[in-house]
Amino acid sequence: MLRAPVMSSVASRKAAAPAVAARVGCRRVGAMRVFAFQKSAGNMQDKAALQERIQKSKELLDAESAMMCYQCEQTKGGSGCTDIGVCGKTPEVAGLQDLLIYSVKGLGSLAHIARNSPAKIEDAAVNTFINGAIFSTLTNVNFADDRFLEFVTDCRRLHAQLAAKMAAAGVAVPASETAHQPWFGSMPHPLAWNSDASVPLAGVGDMLDAANKTGIKERQQVLGETLAGLQELLMYGLKGLCAYAHHAEALGHTDARVYADVQAQLHFLCSPAAADLGAVLDACFSAGATNFRVMEMLSNAHSDTFGHPVPTPVTLNPVPGKAILVTGHDMHDLHMLLEQTAGKGINVYTHGEMLPAHGYPGLKKYPHLVGHFGGAWYRQKIDFAAFPGAVAVTTNCVLDPLTAYKNNIFTINETGLSGVPHIRADAKGHKDFTPIINRALQLPGFTTESIAKMEKKKDVTVGFGHKSVLSVAPQVIEAIQDKRLEHIFLVGGCDGSEPQRKYYSKLYQFMPTNTMVLTLGCGKFRIFDQDFGTLPGTDLPRLLDMGQCNDAYSALVVATELAKVFKTDVNSLPLSLDLSWFEQKAVAVLLTLLHLGVRNIRLGPRLPAFLTPEAVGVLVDKFNLIPANVADPAADMKMMMECK
């Protein structure tokens, strides 16, 4: 369990920092770093860009638009998608997602009231549904409008079911709980809307009428850009942690505190307290604390089920035979598919953030898990079109498919694509992957001839979880002490298609050879196949792939254990975090880092559209959050090496 060194007192930090600084020759300038950053020309340009972005957002408020969505990094113009999502999300799907979140806020509020009543009422189906429904609204998870009709209908059904349980126990919802909050506009409190049997929801038309009144624009007009954006920061953080919690639950790992925390936050967002900026910020950091527990729970779920990851070479070259490609994040689904394909003459490949699966003993033991195919999620239209087998989508990120492979792709869990077959779990959680297997057998797979035409690629190595890294901690510590290891970088997170993300590809070119790089998430694909070699004078590899985005937990464990050895905190280590973000899981990880007091985080390729200059200023003042200098990675590297 991660402990307190990150949150140690100012006095203890001041006392401890010189010890590590002396070992690594690191120049520290304390609070002056913040002011220097604020006055820098680069920061003034960032502020100007933020002001321009917020002006565009205000113009969007005044204009009639089909939708308003700015939850991901690629949002149009850095301000918001108003006609169709850059991701391909239609206005109808965007509206239904808004309506689902609105309805889930009501169900979460009711669950919070029930749990805290004298009867202490819990409903397992409600707990699971809330996390799954919120997960379904992440970027690039679900584009199927019919699935969201189901979600909203199920939400109201579960609301009625829980309300009936409460009534039977003599628990009433106080009238004050359903008092209208101005930021819901013409819609009632979500508790009241969910409970109103007179609300007509006969079909998609009725739902879209309601959906048009539940988007961000209503809240922006009442609360202003800054507060509305911070409420969204909280909601997006909840989306990320609910996704992680849902993965863990699939492996049988749950935590009653997580359900309670999520539902308490949903209740908070429906309460008068959510009109207070300070209270919303506190709630964001509280969500970060919850996400830390969730990432630990998911890490334990993976290691308890499949064993701790071990360093493992993975081939990027296909082999002859029928083939299935598994993309997303869900190790449980991969395991079930490996079981069901055993002995059928089908080779299974990972894609995107499924690459770390090869490091788990309980998954790598399957001989037909033969390698990895393709790159990060955003390349999937190229990768899936080139793959001569079936494709199984377990979680985000998925894009609207090309005709070239639409008949070969299948969605699972909360994912959804219009016109694409969906695999559902039965009442016991089992999934029958026969349709995917049959499609793989129908398709040609890889042949000796097709492989001969492909460029030969070198292997990559995965499996550097915190257990593996800490097993060589004495060597790392010794290397820091004698200055063979001058600095450690955590470079990773989400990847995307924007040209500015080449910054992360170029950054490593400026890293001195006496440095190490920890990477995770799909951001690894910017550097995962580069030859970093070993740390001079040691046999330690300079590049360590720690796993999926949720394995930020492992990185924090490693950093904290190093801090304990040097009797300091994480902020005083020779460690720099240069993180790329794209969607809401990354938001949850960021809130966790901020909750833990981690400072000087570089975030790119651009800052979130939902954070105004005022909100960004608060984070800069408190945590010295730094926008990545995507135009000049060499300058960023220089600053990080100077520990600025």
pLDDT tens-digit map of 449-493: 999 999 999 999 999 999 999 999 999 999 999 999 999 999 999
Same domain? 280 vs 195: yes
Name the domain boundary from 423, 453, 483: 453
Same domain? 479 vs 619: yes
What is the Cα–Cα distance from 548 to 550, expressed in whole angstroms?
5
- What does the buried/exposed string (b/e) look like for 301-330 if buried means 16 or more CB atoms within 10 Å of the residue's CB? bbbebbbbbbbbebbbbbeeebbbbbbbbb
Q: What is the largest CA-CA distance in the chain?
A: 74
User: Which single residue is written with the structure tokens 């008092």?
Assistant: 179
Q: Are strands 312-314 and 575-580 parallel, antiparallel or unpaired?
A: unpaired
Same domain? 133 vs 246: yes
Name the domain boundary from 262, 286, 304: 304
Spacing of C-alpha 568 from chain mean position: 29
Kindly report, residue by residue over 553-584, the tens digit of the pLDDT. Answer: 999 999 999 999 999 999 999 999 999 999 99
Same domain? 120 vs 218: yes
| 29 part of a folded domain | no
- Residue 42's pLDDT band, with cuts at 50, 70 and 90, is very low
Instruction: For residue 87, give the nearest of 387, 424, 380 by alpha carbon.
Output: 380
**Which structural domain range is residue 137 located in?**
66-304
| 44 part of a folded domain | no
| 18 part of a folded domain | no
Strand partners for 602:
578, 626
Judged against a pLDDT cut of 90, whether residue 24 lies above it is answered with no
Mean pLDDT of 180-206: 86
| 481 part of a folded domain | yes
| 39 part of a folded domain | no
Judged against a pLDDT cut of 60, whether residue 28 lies above it is answered with no
Same domain? 254 vs 334: no
| 248 part of a folded domain | yes
Kindly report, residue by residue over 334-385, the tens digit of the pLDDT. Answer: 999 999 999 999 999 999 999 999 999 999 999 999 999 999 999 999 999 9
- pTM recorded for the entire structure: 0.90
Would you state the pLDDT for residue 453?
96
Q: Which helix H or strand E contains 612, and what residues bound it? A: none
Same domain? 156 vs 300: yes
Same domain? 562 vs 592: yes
User: Which single residue is written with the structure tokens 């499609």?
Assistant: 439
Name the domain boundary from 243, 278, 304: 304
Same domain? 241 vs 325: no
Same domain? 297 vs 445: no
Kindly report, residue by residue over 266-303, the tens digit of the pLDDT. Answer: 999 999 999 999 999 999 999 999 999 999 999 999 99
Cα distances (Å, whole numbers) of residue 504 to 71, 81, 514, 518, 523: 22, 25, 19, 13, 8
497 DSSP assignment: S
DSSP 14-36: HHHHHHHHHHHT----TTHHHHH
Same domain? 364 vs 468: no
- Residue 94's pLDDT band, with cuts at 50, 70 and 90, is very high
Same domain? 269 vs 356: no
The single-letter code of the amino acid at 223 is L
541 versus 2: the higher-pLDDT residue is 541
| 361 part of a folded domain | yes
Task: Say which CATH number the domain at 448 has.
Answer: 3.40.50.2030
**Structural domains of the chain, count:** 3
Same domain? 157 vs 278: yes
For residues 378 and 86, is the Cβ–Cβ distance under 8 A? no
| CA dihedral sign, ordered 30, 34, 39, 45 | positive
